[in-house]
Amino acid sequence: MARLFCKNHQDQNLNPLMIQFGESALGKEYICCVCSSVRVLNEGTILSLNGNYGFISGGKKNFFFHFNNLAYGFTPFLGMRVEFEVCYLEDGRNQAVNIKPKGGKNGD
């Protein structure tokens, strides 16, 4: 398994590890050992594409995403396996961000 580092400390030249502490309907939950920030990672399948947005089927939940949240140079297609981070919006909804192909450049 790849090591996950907290993004909150990049400007301080620190790379504290994040530890998986649980799993929910949103995905695998990780916590930073230094600042206690939480990140949720998930994987799923591109369910629909419409203009500049779409939906990912992520296990127990479907996640909205905007094309601005795709990894650089990544073009999704229906049925493609992807991995992503869950972002919590102020209005209580969730959204997929940092979306990239699962298992390789072409989603193999």
**Are 63 and 25 in the same domain?**
no
Label residue 72 exposed, middle or buried (CB < 10 Å: 0-12, 13-18, 19+): exposed
| Position 83 in a domain | yes
**Are 45 and 31 in the same domain?**
no
Q: Are strands 27-32 and 61-66 parallel, antiparallel or unpaired?
A: unpaired
**Are 34 and 50 in the same domain?**
no
**Are 59 and 19 in the same domain?**
no
Whether 108 shows a pLDDT value over 50: the answer reads no
**Are 50 and 96 in the same domain?**
yes
In the predicted model, what is the mean pLDDT of residues 76-85? 95
E strand or H helix at 58: strand 53-58
Domain count, the chain: 2
**Are 20 and 60 in the same domain?**
no
Could you give the dihedral angle defined by the CA atoms of residues 78, 79, 84 and 89, in that order, rounded to the nearest 10 degrees? 50
**Are 14 and 55 in the same domain?**
no
Q: Give residue-wise pLDDT tens across range 12-56.
A: 778 888 999 999 889 999 999 889 989 999 999 999 999 899 999
DSSP 59: T
Q: Give residue-wise pLDDT tens across range 51-70.
A: 899 999 987 889 999 999 99
Residue 83 pLDDT: 95
| Position 58 in a domain | yes
DSSP 61: E
Q: Domain range spanning residue 58?
A: 41-101
**Are 45 and 97 in the same domain?**
yes
DSSP 16: -
Whether 106 shows a pLDDT value over 50: the answer reads no
pLDDT above 70 covers a percentage of the chain that reads: 94
Q: What is the CATH number of the domain that holds 75?
A: 2.40.50.140
Residue 62 pLDDT: 93
**Are 47 and 95 in the same domain?**
yes
How far is Cα of residue 55 from the mean position of the Cα atoms in its chain?
13
DSSP 103: S
Whether 9 shows a pLDDT value over 70: the answer reads yes
